[in-house]
Each structure stands twice: as structure tokens, then as C-alpha cells.
Structure 1
Amino acid sequence: MFSPRTTPWPLVALFTAGYLAPYLLPTVVGRLDVGLPLSATQAGAVGSALLLSSASAGFALASRVERIGARTLARAGLALAVVGYGGAALAGSVPAVVAGAVLGGFGSGTATTVAATRIAAQPDPHRASSLGLLSVSALAGVVYLTVPHLGGGHGQPLAAIALTALAVWPLTGRLPRATADVPARSGTGGARRPPHLRSGLVLVAAMPCWSLVQNALWGVSGRIGLTQAHLGEATVGAVFAVALGAGLLGVLGAGALGPRLGRAVPIGGGTVLIAGCVAVSASATGLASFAAGEIAWNALYPVVLSYLIGLAASLDPRGRWAVLVGSASSLGTAAGPLTGSLLSARAGFPVMGLVLGAGLLVVAVPLTAVALHTAGRPLLPGTVRRRGGTPAAVVAASTGTPHGSVPQIGAPEQQVVDIPVPAPARPARDAYDTAGPRRAGVGAGPGA
């Protein structure tokens, strides 16, 4: 249990352990085809299998976290991650590496599912998700700076993921065991069907495309730097570390900005800017263009992702949409490395960037529409929008509501809850007699 004023550090740590594998995907995929007898496309397929396993965990466990218990599931996921990634790091044969990566991916997906469910139950899910992205970006940056100095082979990045899962294990003791420990933020906690069904389904359908584009480029970014921009592995690693550092600044900015711009502007406008960064990075032929594209893209990507996670969490306090959207995103993430490998092999990196950028422009439309439809806009000072009615500030001004009783600018829109009111009792018959009703003061004389 976490109070509204405390930071849910166990959830932040669990979020970090679950998201680290996708963040390290370029170095994992890049080292698979160097240390093992795999082609670049086959290495991308292994990365896709890892992420597909992670997505399957989310879909399988989205509605079972409360029943099984967050602590039990989190520990099971972390154990699978330690065994899977650790075994893959130590293995020298392709089948063993693939099996370990798939097993570890399921563990990562389980940890992410628990974290997403619990973050959605927090009073401020956007803040919690921003802290998680901040943590995983910082850790991934450290890994990118360290791994090139530890020698070649596929084991180092996989071992880093396994060790992170092992380090997070002790922090799961503060997670709840049973459903009774799960806090509810609204009266929808017991609903059988998730609320905002249409918006949730649109978000679930759009997120795979959004994530596919991101990870199609991210999965081949290492090869772009090595083969097209003609950079060394240490230089590419340094660019990735700086890019992830820019991502840290982006997440900090998103956390400080909060809901002041709503969600539509960061999600829609940010996605359009990311499309341009994808095209620049994919066409890079030197250090300057490669670094500019990667740094700008990584600065924007976690910002938009944090708002998307917050949007999904706001649709259902029980976290069902957050988990389903996260799993749908993992499907796109899973297909990303293979898609990027195939597109770059057949059309080249620049054409791949143009195709991926165009796809982002298309998917920005439904994402922005969902953000607008679910009231992700900022509020004017002292107003609370009433669905289908007059802003509450107008009502407050005419009814003498004390100053400060309504949220100020930047506050999220308040949820309207229907409260059943019992039917009024029948009026008393004191003013009635056998001759019929009489109004007070009418027909009542001295002798009446």
C-alpha cells in the first residue's frame, strides 16, 4: 500500500525490470548475430520472439493480477527473467539462447503486467509511469556505456537484464498478496467490463502500429551506426547513452509538465515529431546526422509513451486497459526488429525510415482522437466540465460556491458519478380535508 504522498518505488523498480529488455534490444540483437551463427534477420527474429513472449504474458495475466496477487506474480515473473536471461547469457548454442530469451521475455512481461496494474491504481499514474521510464532510461544508459568495455558476445546485455530482475526481487515484499489489499479509486472497481470500451479498443488497436515503428528502427539502429554511418561500437554505444540521457530529460520534462497541455498535444504532436526523427536517423551517413536523429528521437519517445501509459491507466482504475494496451504495444515491439530487418535488407535504411515515418503519421490520428475523446484537455482556471452541460464554473458563479473549491488550471477532469436518489415520499395531507385541498390563507376566516 502506498499513500498518495509517497513514491511507489517498488512499482518503479518492477517497471524498470520489465521494460529493460526492450530498451536493450539493439545491443541484444546486434550481439546475437556476432557471437552466434545467426544472420541479421535471424537475430531480429530472436528479438521478436523475446518480445512476443512478453506480450503474451500481458494478455494472459491482464485480468488475473488481483486474484493471484501482485506479489506472487511479480516474484514469479522476476524468477523467470533471472532463469531465462541468465541461462541465455551462459548458453553457447542457438536453441538454448532462443529458449532462454523466450522464457525471460515471459518473465519481463509478467513483471510489466503487475507494474502496469498497480500503477493504474495510484492516485497519479502519470507520475508513477514517468518515474519508471526515468529509471529504465538511466539504467539502460549505464549498460550501453559499460557493455562495450566488457568484451564481445551476446551474454553481457542478457546478464544485465537478469541481474536487474534479481536486484528487484527484495522490493516485491511491499506488494499486496490478495485482492482485498488492492485500493479502488472509483466506483467502477467491480465492473465486469472495462469502462470506456470504444476508446480502449481504439487505443489497443493503434498501439501495436505505434510501437512497431519505434522498435523497427530501434532494432536496427546499431547496424545503421556501424554499417551506414561507419562508426565504431564504442561510438555507437556512446550515442545511445547520450540519447537515453536525453530521454531522461524528456521524462523529467513530461513529469514537470503533467496534465497542463492535456494528452492530445503531447501524444499527437509528439508522434508527428518522432516520425521526422525516424526519417533523419534512418538516412544518417555520419556521426552528426546519426546522433541528431537518435538523440532527438529518444528524447521524444519516452515523453509520448508516458502520456500513452497515463491515458490507458485513466480509462480504468483497475488497470485492465493499461495492461491490454501495454501488451498490444509489446506485440508491435515484438514485430519491430523483424520488420526493420526485412525492410532495411530489401529497400535500404533510408527507404525504411520513410515508410516507418509515414506509418507514424497515420497512427497519430486515432491516438489523438482517443486523447481528445477521453477529456485529456487542460481545464480553464476554476472550471470543471460537466458532461453534456454547462461548465461548473458558471454554476459556481451563480450559486455562491466558495473560491478554491474547484480545480485550477492543469487539473484532470473530474469523473461524474451517478448517485441513485430514492423517490420522494408522498406529500403530507395536513392541508387536506374532506372537502378538498385548501391553500393557507385562502378561505380561512374567523369562523373557518
Structure 2
Amino acid sequence: MSAPRTTPWPLVALFTAGYLAPYLLPTTVGRLDTGLPLSPTQAGAIGSALLLSSAAAGFLLASRVDRIGARTLARAGLLLAVLGYGGAALTTVVPAVVVGALVGGFGSGTVTAVAATGIAAMGAPPARAESRAWGSDPHRASILGLLSVSALAGAVYLTVPHLGAGHGQPLAALALTALAAWPLTGRLSLRTAPARTLPGRPPLPHRRSGLVLVAAMPCWSLVQNSLWGVSGRIGLAQAHLTEVTVGTVFAVALGAALIGVLGAGALGPRLGLATPIGAGTALIAVCVALSASATDLMTFAAGEIAWNVLYPVVLSYMIGLAASLDPRGRWAVLVGSAASLGTAAGPLTGSVLSARAGFPVMGAILAAGLLVIAVPLTAVALRRRPVAAPRALEDAVVHIEIPAYENSYASTAAI
């Protein structure tokens, strides 16, 4: 009889702490150019630098998590996030804000690297029976992480507009989230499971599929975050909405994202990987064009809400696809870090395109690029099967105890 599944709350907490920075990108970038003497393009460049630092951490640590240890790296990343984001929130000196954003971004990337390795390891055959207490389902863990970060980001978007002007509030939220995740790192092992269960340093499996994903994911994530990075400006400048209204739309959109995540968890692998990734990416392209052309509340809200429903669904299957390529989690980290490169370039790309061509043309260009990228992603997905099948939706929320097994690993992935 299989061991009962328990919810890996340390994994969920680290996923949330590592992923929150991209989720808060619109308000972070938007408040940088209103609270500091920066142009919109300069603010977008700082947002890009933050995410580029995060991607650099992922590439640097992709093959080192099992050697250094999940607990050590997670705590180091959380400490950097607290110091970097917290310091940037407390100063108005632009160079200090830039340094703080870089340090905090590196911390987020470190936490994300631990997360990606942990979620892929959950799908690996355990060395001992009790190690299955975490469950053997990377998709399920990523669903819970996406639920957590979406809910938290939605709460931040509802709260920040009422806390006054300035750039510090979203950065402080990032620092406080990292601080809140710290206590759960005690449940992580000093070494990750792959280091014990998979001897030696075998070469990366499925190289062709992995390289296609690594090449395609920067473009996929660049499109998402080019729009996300300027969505606040679209609402304010083109749709003529107030900051409170835009924040409410974002909060509703992220709340709708929870529905999408729950739907992905309920469906599990029933649709395979190719249909959610290929068709979902095509639908996202439509939403990108719609949001970028919005001139009123209804169009803006429809585009943002539909996009936020679809994005985490496709993302959860992307995480499963990357995790299925290597039980050590190396492809998961590399693909996630490659995606972070696109995420990092997103704010600056969106700012430059919208400044030179306008929001509607920017949306059309991004949508066309997304349709092109859907082809190789779908081709890779057709060759793979989901790592594991989540059972019914209620299975994702039962067994919430946190056993102190020594085979606990770190948290989920980032793409």
C-alpha cells in the first residue's frame, strides 16, 4: 500500500518567496518611475536587472544544489532577498536601490534553484519508503505553489495602493515574504534526495528536448513579461484608469488565476502535455493582443483576467515537462533559468516597444512571436508524458501535516 501524500509546505513557501518578484513586476516597475527620479525605460531596466540577477543565480546553481545542500542554499537565498529588497525599500538613493534589487534578485533566483531541484526530485524513485511522504508528484507541488503566490500577489495588489506613494511597498512585500519563509527551511534536509539516490554525475538525459526547451523558453517568458511589465501603464495611460482600479483589476486577475491553477490540478495529465502547452500558448497570444489594445476598463479587465487564468495553467505543465526530462532536476533548473532570462528582458523590451510603436503594435508583435514559439514547445511536449498524475482536486489539500523526515527536500520550480 502506498504511503499517504502530505503537503510539502516548505516547498510551497520557497516557491512563493522565489516567484513573487516576477508576479509583482508591474507595481514594482511602475512605482520605481513615480517614486524615484527615473524614466519609464530606466525603471523597466531596473526590473530587468533584478530578474537577470535571478536568472544568473539559477544558471550558477543548477548543478550544485545537491552538493551544497537544500537547507543551506535556501537560507542563503532568503537572507539575500531580505537584505536586498529590504535595503532597496528603505532608501531613495537610486544606485542603492539598483544594488538592492540585484542582491534581492540573486536571492530569489537561489531560492528558485532549490525549488526546481526539489520538485524534480519528487518524481524520482525514492531510496526509502518513507521518502514518499512528500508525494511523488511534481505537478501537484507546483500547483500548490502557484496557488500560494497568486493569492499573495493578489493581496499585495489590493493593499499597496492604499499605503501611499513610493517605491518601497512592493519591495518590502518581497522582503517580508522571504522572512516569513525562513522558519520552514528547518524542514529541509542538508542534502537533497538526488545526491543520495542517484550515484555519480550522469550526463544530462534527453539533450535534444532539453536544449529546445532552453532555447524556446526565454522567448516564451519574454512575451509574457513584456506585457506584464507595462500592464500598469496600459491601464493608467491608455485605458485611463486610476491606480486603485488597475490594482483591483490585477487582484481580480490573480484571483481568477487561482481558478486556472485549480483547474490544472483537477485535470492533471488527462490532456497530456502538448494540448495545454500548445493550445494554451496560442490562447495567451490572443490575450496579449487584447490587453495591449485596451482603451477602456472592460477590454483591459477581460484581457488581463483571461491571460492570468491561462498563464499559470500553461506554466504548471511547462514545469512538469521540464521536470520529466531529468529526475535530478538539472533540466528543470536550466529551463527555469533560461525562462528567467526572458523574464528579465521583458520589462525593458515592453518599455522600448511601447515607447516607440505604441501599446497595440507592441501587443501584435508579442502575440506573433508567441505563436511561433508554440511550435517547438508543442513538439517537445508531444514526446513526453507528465511525471505523475495528480488525483482529484481534494487530494491536493488533504494530509497537511509536515513530518520531519530527513529526506525532505526543497521547493518548486520557476519558469
Fold in common (TM above 0.5): yes
Structure with the larger helix share: 2
Among 226, 230, 238, the alignment partner of 1:216 is 226
The equivalent of 1:140 in structure 2 is: 153
The equivalent of 1:425 in structure 2 is: none
Shift of 1:176: 1.1
The equivalent of 1:20 in structure 2 is: 20
Structure of higher RCO (CA pairs closer than 8 Å, 6+ residues apart):
2
Shift of 1:374: 2.0
Note the 1:381-400 alignment, pairs <5 A: none
Shift of 1:193: 1.2
Among 361, 378, 381, the alignment partner of 1:351 is 361
Partners in 1 of 2:110 and 2:139 — Cα distance?
21
CA contact (8 A) 2:320 2:387 kept: no
CA contact (8 A) 1:33 1:43 kept: yes
Aligned partner letter, 1:110: T
Note the 1:60-209 alignment, pairs <5 A: 60-122=60-122, 123-179=136-192, 184=197, 190-209=200-219
User: 2:43 aligned with 1:43, yes or no?
Assistant: yes
Note the 1:330-345 alignment, pairs <5 A: 330-345=340-355
Shift of 1:196: 0.7
The equivalent of 2:303 in structure 1 is: 293
Aligned partner letter, 1:339: T
**TM-score normalised per structure 1:** 0.82
Partners in 1 of 2:388 and 2:247 — Cα distance?
39
Partners in 2 of 1:181 and 1:261 — Cα distance?
29
CA contact (8 A) 1:84 1:104 kept: yes
Shift of 1:179: 5.0
Partners in 2 of 1:256 and 1:13 — Cα distance?
22
Partners in 2 of 1:110 and 1:377 — Cα distance?
24
CA contact (8 A) 1:251 1:303 kept: yes
CA contact (8 A) 1:264 1:377 kept: no
CA contact (8 A) 1:261 1:378 kept: no
Partners in 2 of 1:372 and 1:42 — Cα distance?
41
CA contact (8 A) 1:216 1:341 kept: yes
CA contact (8 A) 1:264 1:376 kept: no
User: 2:41 aligned with 1:31, yes or no?
Assistant: no
Partners in 2 of 1:273 and 1:189 — Cα distance?
42
The equivalent of 1:418 in structure 2 is: none
CA contact (8 A) 1:121 1:183 kept: no
Aligned partner letter, 1:276: V
Q: Gaps (5+ residues) in structure 2?
A: 123-135, 390-415
Aligned partner letter, 2:50: L
Partners in 1 of 2:55 and 2:265 — Cα distance?
26
The equivalent of 2:396 in structure 1 is: none
User: 2:260 aligned with 1:247, yes or no?
Assistant: no
RMSD: 1.5
Partners in 2 of 1:11 and 1:180 — Cα distance?
14
Report the structure number with the largest CA radius of gyration: 1
SS at match of 1:176: coil
Q: 1:378 to 1:13 in 2, by over 3 A?
A: closer
Q: 1:179 to 1:287 in 2, by over 3 A?
A: closer
Partners in 2 of 1:376 and 1:265 — Cα distance?
12
Q: Gaps (5+ residues) in structure 1?
A: 380-448
CA contact (8 A) 1:262 1:377 kept: no
Shift of 1:130: 1.0
What are the Cα deviations for residues 337-362 of structure 1, in whole angstroms up to 9, with x where unaligned? Answer: 00000000000000000000000000
SS at match of 1:258: helix
Aligned partner letter, 2:47: G
Aligned partner letter, 1:268: G
SS at match of 2:270: coil
The equivalent of 1:269 in structure 2 is: 279
Partners in 1 of 2:382 and 2:253 — Cα distance?
30
Q: 1:189 to 1:213 in 2, by over 3 A?
A: farther
Aligned length: 374
What are the Cα deviations for residues 82-121 of structure 1, in whole angstroms up to 9, with x where unaligned? Answer: 0000000001110000000000000000001101100111
Aligned partner letter, 2:57: A
Aligned partner letter, 1:125: P
Partners in 1 of 2:202 and 2:194 — Cα distance?
19
Shift of 1:192: 2.2
SS at match of 2:294: coil
SS at match of 1:178: coil
Aligned partner letter, 1:299: V
Give the share of equivalent positions with the same residue, in percent: 81
Aligned partner letter, 2:59: F
Partners in 1 of 2:289 and 2:121 — Cα distance?
37
What are the Cα deviations for residues 221-243 of structure 1, in whole angstroms up to 9, with x where unaligned? Answer: 00000000000000000000000
Partners in 2 of 1:378 and 1:183 — Cα distance?
22
User: 2:336 aligned with 1:326, yes or no?
Assistant: yes
Partners in 1 of 2:215 and 2:381 — Cα distance?
14
CA contact (8 A) 2:67 2:195 kept: no
Aligned partner letter, 2:160: V
Q: 1:179 to 1:141 in 2, by over 3 A?
A: closer
CA contact (8 A) 1:261 1:377 kept: no
Among 244, 251, 256, the alignment partner of 2:266 is 256
Partners in 2 of 1:179 and 1:255 — Cα distance?
26
Aligned partner letter, 1:164: T
Aligned partner letter, 1:101: A
Aligned partner letter, 1:171: L
Partners in 2 of 1:230 and 1:222 — Cα distance?
11
Q: 1:189 to 1:320 in 2, by over 3 A?
A: farther
